[in-house]
Chains A and B, each alone.
Chain A
Amino acid sequence: MNEHGNRHTTTRQGGTAVAAKPLKRKKVFTETMLSVRDLHVSFKTFGGEVQALRGVSFDLYKGETLAIVGESGCGKSVTANTIMGLLPHPAGKVKNGSVIFKGRDLTKLDKAGMRKVQGVDISMIFQDPMTALNPTLQVGEQLTEGLRTHQKVSKADAKKKAIELLNVVGIPNPEERLKQYPHQFSGGMRQRIVIAIALICEPELLIADEPTTALDVTIQAQILELFEEIQERTGVSIILITHDLGVVAKIADRIAVMYAGKVIEIGEKREVFYDPQHPYTQGLLASVPRLDLKEEELKPIEGTPPDLFAPPIGCPFTARCPFAMEVCDKVHPPTTELTITHAVDCWLQDDRAKNVFG
């Protein structure tokens, strides 16, 4: 179809523009450190049960950065909270599936067992640094308490480590700063402290839930650089949750696109940016505002995501999809593996649908 063709080339250019910075080096990832399989999570509310995750599966390799993108309410943060064991109790519940981290299923751990993982093996960085730090405790205490809880280190050693970390994340006068309170720091500084807190026990996995959304643009760039620097230094794996495709272009190795509680497309950054196969991913990339094109209007994806109280049986994107077919509404598409790394859930990949494009 002509329309599709146009759309396709636009996104190609879009990809080039956003991902302007070339990769410094080609990273090769082989060792799986986290695998999420068929994860179903529901929330009980007064209005009924919200099926926030409806079978999320992906792998994370050691040392890579996986970006999870999608619009609000698609289940990005729920995925992060489930891995981290932070689902609200008793409203949120893992209905099915597993999160295997270093051979253990995290969804099966009890609270005490999960506490030995939280902050030690897996750390989380929160969206809003203005509210993520406790206003009544000194930064030094918030920084070292995790370390002092999980490892039997002396106060002096913990302080030494804290000063070292503040140097790493780029906070001047660390010794003095440790005694201060969060309100004495700027937003960017606070996010650096939140990052330092996440790193204090040297975790293997860092989950960053929209780490730059609350920051202004110049600070955003600095924080992203800090992430890259930390990853190079420690080899930590990062799950980056964001709806900002600019951020993704800058630091992600692979991208998982989520929609209505499912991963609908996953692949290496260049695969997803240059060759998006799901109409939703294409729409998402086309909606990024462009400075180099004359078009003045933004291209939104028309419509709204489906109601997760009663999710559709078929593909959840059907109602908004420009290429929707009869089958889309009735049966959920199977996952098609285009390359070893690139997979998509869409009926357009089916052999019988190839002639749709003419």
Chain B
Amino acid sequence: MAVYIVKRFAMMIATIFIIATLTFFLMHAIPGSPFDEERTSNPTIQANLEKFYKLDQPVIVQYGHYLKSVATFDFGPSIKKPNETVNSLLKRGFPISAELGLITILVAVLSGITLGTFAALRHNGIIDYMAMAFAVVGISVPNFVLATLLIQQLAVNWQILPPATWSSPMHMILPTLALATGPTAIIARLTRSSMLEVLTQDYMKMARAKGLSPARIVLRHALRNALMPVVTIMGTMLAGILTGTFVIEKIFAIPGMGKYFVDSINNRDYPVIMGTTVFYSAFLVFMLFLVDIVYGFLDPRIKLHKKEGDA
């Protein structure tokens, strides 16, 4: 296990390095500079600014500085907001985004698995058809459309929930709903199909032949086996939810990372682009790593390490 974690860790570092490098060169391939809009500044000031941010040096030298900042995780001050550092932006924005993302994942996983399980247990029944109809709609409707509809209906027409911001649990309901519906639908469909397969397995018949309670048969015997595909897509789903938060944050005026991230690209705010990208990719890579670990716990046949003498 320890060997596996060390190996995976080295891979993670390599992955982040590649992402960081690609981001750097892509960013420099985009025409324009952070100071394009400031027409008033004279050439001397501009030159001084560029010197301050080391933008006057050759790209390869800048790349060296950049790698150093990635390694120490200190991206320095933002160009557009000189009194803020990238780290302070992350510190302020990320907890809010993480909150939105985590609640979404929690809601999606719990409701998706429940829905999928009931659909499978009542295969070709009314619950099954309703759940799958919901799933098709959930997968088809993009979250920004759903968000707008939800605001219009629940916040404007009926006025039962606040339309924007992130200040109380009531405020969290609409953004979470908008963001979680898609992933819920995907998880529900996946759980249903893998559950249907598991239910026909011999060991399920054996569990029934033991006279166990239906709850135990489903929860202990079926679900654990049926969840493997769900865990598998959790990795890519996390990425989807992550980028989804940017859109949802924008619509609901939530002061999370999304706003800074999008603005920084529009403004060519190099340190912020770098900081947020590297931070997010590190986060995602780590989550994928966690997913792999969870595999091992769910299915004992998946060995994360090779031990001598194991069959």
Contact = CB atoms under 8 A, between A and B. Distances in A.
A26 B152 CA distance: 85
B300 A86 contact: no
A136 B211 contact: no
B5 interface: no
Q: Is the interface of B mostly helix, strand, loop or mixed?
A: helix
B283 interface: no
A86 B211 contact: no
Nearest to A138: B300
Interface stretch (B141-149, B220-228, B246-254, B258-266): B220-228
Contacts of A184: 310-311
A126 B206 CA distance: 8
Interface in A149-202: 149-150, 181, 183-184, 194, 197
B52 to A, nearest CB: 59
B208 interface: yes
B84 interface: no
Nearest to B124: A90
B306 interface: no
B300 A136 contact: yes
A73 to B, nearest CB: 19
Given A131-B202, A136-B299, A181-B300, A119 B210 contact: yes
Interface residues of A, number: 30
A86 B206 CA distance: 9
Contacts of B299: 135-136
Interface string A259-280: 0000000000000000000000
Interface string B281-298: 000000000000000001
B301 A150 contact: no
A124 B298 contact: no
Interface stretch (A110-118, A219-227, A242-250, A329-337): A110-118
Contacts of B220: 137, 145
Given A181-B301, A183-B300, A197 B203 contact: no
Interface residues of B, number: 23
A318 B211 CA distance: 41
Interface string A120-147: 1001101110011111110000000110
Given A115-B211, A145-B210, A146-B211, A135 B202 contact: no
A133 B220 CA distance: 13
A118 B209 contact: yes
A84 interface: yes
Contacts of B216: 145, 149
Contact of A132 (B203, B211, B225): B203
Contact of B225 (A116, A135, A150): A135
Contact of B203 (A117, A120, A127, A131): A131
B202 A124 contact: no
B203 to A, nearest CB: 4
B221 A134 contact: yes
Interface string B183-211: 00000000000000000011101111111
Contacts of A126: 202, 205-206, 209
A145 B216 CA distance: 10
Given A131-B203, A135-B225, A150 B211 contact: yes
A145 B202 contact: no
B212 interface: yes
A84 B211 CA distance: 10
Contacts of B225: 134-136
A145 B207 CA distance: 9
A188 B216 CA distance: 27
B209 A149 contact: no
A119 B209 contact: yes
A119 B216 CA distance: 15
Interface in A304-333: none
A149 B202 contact: no
A119 B209 CA distance: 6
12 contacts: A119-B212, A126-B206, A126-B209, A132-B202, A133-B206, A135-B203, A135-B225, A145-B216, A149-B211, A150-B211, A184-B310, A197-B210
The 5 closest A-B pairs by CB, nearest first: A118-B211, A131-B202, A146-B210, A119-B211, A119-B210
Interface of A: 84, 86, 114-120, 123-124, 126-128, 131-137, 145-146, 149-150, 181, 183-184, 194, 197
Given A132-B206, A146-B212, 20 more contacts: A84-B209, A86-B205, A115-B211, A115-B212, A119-B209, A126-B202, A131-B202, A134-B203, A134-B206, A134-B207, A134-B221, A136-B224, A136-B300, A137-B224, A145-B212, A145-B216, A146-B211, A149-B210, A181-B300, A184-B311
Interface of B: 201-203, 205-213, 216, 220-221, 224-225, 298-301, 310-311
